Amino acid sequence: MSKLTKNQKLVSEKIEAGKAYTLKEAAELVKEVTFTKFDASVDIDVRLGVDPRKANQMVRGTVSLPHGTGKQVRVLVLCTADAEAGAKEAGADYVGLDEYIEKIKGGWTDVDVIITQPAIMGKIGALGRVLGPRGLMPNPKSGTVTPDVAKAVKEVKQGKIDFKVDKGGIVHTSIGKVSFNATQIQENAKAFVDMLLKLKPTTAKGTYLKSVYLSSTMSPGIKVDTKSISE
């Protein structure tokens, strides 16, 4: 058996194998067991009792995290000329149309979110091959295809995230940084799980919240007692 590093030993002493912690304890622990020199992301993984292969059990939505994600989100707005000023004022990093469509066709995707208007979607359809695999394709369900692009920019900049259950029934997302205090991590995690509960498909059978884990970029997962989240 390979020897544990000093940090791994500290982690193994702090996290009890198999123990489910309250959300408050897990939010404190994730900070204690992260030793990265950079400001690591705090991630949440929720296993849901759904079958994502069935269209009526697809869990997808958006949530505004009360304390944001701690990340600088680069936003591109593809819009008509009359909406450009509003989008820029709202904080969009890039605003335009045809020149950015050409750039994307050439392989440029140096952004985190793309927001557009319904009238423009016809032009953007051709970019699906580039944007689809990178998760950048605008979508009405995630609020990134909207007549009010300025409002959408503000929401994204303030910490609105979109999420989708994967093939294994797991929803994974970042809910902050280890530099956040434990209360901020706890409140962001609760806001995310509360939204998942609201989106529970009526056809889902049995236990819906099967498991919840908190982790940071380099830490092991910390099991969260699902009952503690609603407390």
Phi, psi of 75 (to 5 degrees): -115, 130
Question: Hey, where are the domains in the chain?
Answer: 19-69+160-230, 75-157
Better-predicted residue by pLDDT, 2 or 159: 159
- What was the pLDDT predicted at 12? 67
* Fold type of domain 75-157: Rossmann fold (3.40.50)
Q: Using an 8 Å Cβ cutoff, are 113 and 136 in contact?
A: yes
**Residue 201 CA from chain centroid, whole number:** 20
pLDDT at 79 over 80: yes
CATH number (1.10.4160.10, 3.40.50.150, 3.20.20.70, 3.30.190.20) of 19-69+160-230 reads 3.30.190.20
Better-predicted residue by pLDDT, 49 or 72: 49
pLDDT single digits (tens) 96-133: 999 999 999 999 999 999 999 999 999 998 899 999 99
Helical H segments across 59-211, by residue range: 81-89, 98-105, 121-124, 128-131, 149-157, 182-198
Q: Using an 8 Å Cβ cutoff, are 84 and 96 in contact?
A: yes
Q: What is the mean pLDDT of residues 43-55?
A: 94
Task: Say how many Å lie between the first and final Cα of the chain, rounded.
Answer: 41
Taking the C-alpha atoms of residue 48 and residue 145, their distance in angstroms, rounded to an integer, is 27
- What was the pLDDT predicted at 1? 42
Q: Which of 19-23, 113-117, 138-142, 178-182 has the lowest mean pLDDT?
A: 138-142
